[in-house]
Amino acid sequence: MLQGVKAIAKGLGTTFKALTEPRDTIAYPEKRREYAPRFRGKHMLARDEDGHELCVGCGLCEAVCPAQAIRVVAAEAPVEKPVSWTNRYSVDYEVDLIRCIFCGMCEEACPTNAVRLTPFNELAAFERTDMVADKEELLSPPVRK
């Protein structure tokens, strides 16, 4: 009997001790963790200071992607209406975020530093098609809510 009480007291002691200790979990989504600066989350397409897209649609990311998650279609922009910093730009730029393995090879291959992986990792949708990020979506980098 005494031994039983001792055991309960020991157990409760651990519990009460843990109550005062700092917590290992966070109260997501009210609180969010800070990620390392090089964390590889959802992609973005960057622009330069003048607002021109950096992506020239060279397709190297498409070529290097081990999951074949990227599709690029390039086109020539009219001289008076440039889209990127040169006359070649990407008309379509799609990343299938279900296929993507977030290896960051696209970022590494990009000769213009246009594709970047942001720390944003809250990827969820009700439809599979919603998980294909189109160019418009990628050009407005996601921010955490």
Partner 1 sequence: MIRLTIDDQQISVPEGTLVADAAAKLGIEIPVYCYHQALGPLGACRICLVQVEKMPKLVTACTTAVQEGMVVHTRGALVDKGRQGVLEFLLINHPLDCPVCDKGGECFLQDYAFSYGASAGRYDEPKIHKLKDAPINEFIILDQERCVLCQRCVRFMGEYVGEEQLMLEGRGVQTVVATVDHQPVVSPFAGNVIDLCPVGALLSRPYRYKARPWNLERVESVCPHCPVGCTTLATGRDGHVVRVEGRPEADRHWGWLCDRGRFGYDFAYLPDRLLAATVEGEERSAAEAQRTVGGWIAQAVASHGPESVAILVGGQHTVQEANQIARFAREVIGTERVAMVRSTRGYLPSALNGTFEDIERADTVVYLGGDPYESVPVVHLKLRDRYRQFPDLKVIGIGSWVLTRSTLPGQDVVVEPGQEVAVLAAALKIAAGEQEAVKVLTANLGDWRPSLTGVDPAAVEDRLRELGQSLLGSEHLVLLWDGKDAEMESVLHAIKTVREERSAVLPMFGPANWRGFEQAGIDPHFDRLDSVLDDCIAGRVTTLLVFGGDLLREYPDRRRAEEALAAVERVVQEGCFAPEGQEHYHAIVPGAGWGEVVGSYVNLEGRPQTAGAPATPPGQARPVRTYLLAWAHALKKNLVFEDEGRLPGMAAAARAAVAPVTRPGDLARGDDELVMVGNTEVMEGGLPSEYLASRVAEYPGRVSPQDALRLEIGQQGGRLVVEGSDDTIMVNAAPDPRVPGGRMVLPYGIQESPLNRIGEGATVKVYRREEVGAR
Chain residues binding partner 1 by CB under 8 A are 56-60, 62-63, 74-76, 86-88, 111-112
Closest to partner 1 by CB, 42 vs 114, is 114
The set of residues, in sequence order, having a beta carbon less than 8 Å from that of 4 and lying 6+ positions away, is: none
Closest contact distance (angstroms) between CB of 31 and partner 1 is: 42
Closest contact distance (angstroms) between CB of 49 and partner 1 is: 20
Cα separation, 64 vs 108, whole angstroms:
9
Cα separation, 107 vs 44, whole angstroms:
10
The set of residues, in sequence order, having a beta carbon less than 8 Å from that of 48 and lying 6+ positions away, is: 54, 85
Closest to partner 1 by CB, 56 vs 69, is 56
Closest contact distance (angstroms) between CB of 60 and partner 1 is: 7
E strands, 2-62, where? 43-45
Closest to partner 1 by CB, 13 vs 87, is 87
Helix, strand, coil share (%) of the chain residues, nearest 5: 25, 20, 55
Closest contact distance (angstroms) between CB of 29 and partner 1 is: 39
- CA torsion sign, 39 to 143 to 124 to 74? negative
Closest to partner 1 by CB, 44 vs 60, is 60
Closest contact distance (angstroms) between CB of 22 and partner 1 is: 49
Closest to partner 1 by CB, 76 vs 134, is 76
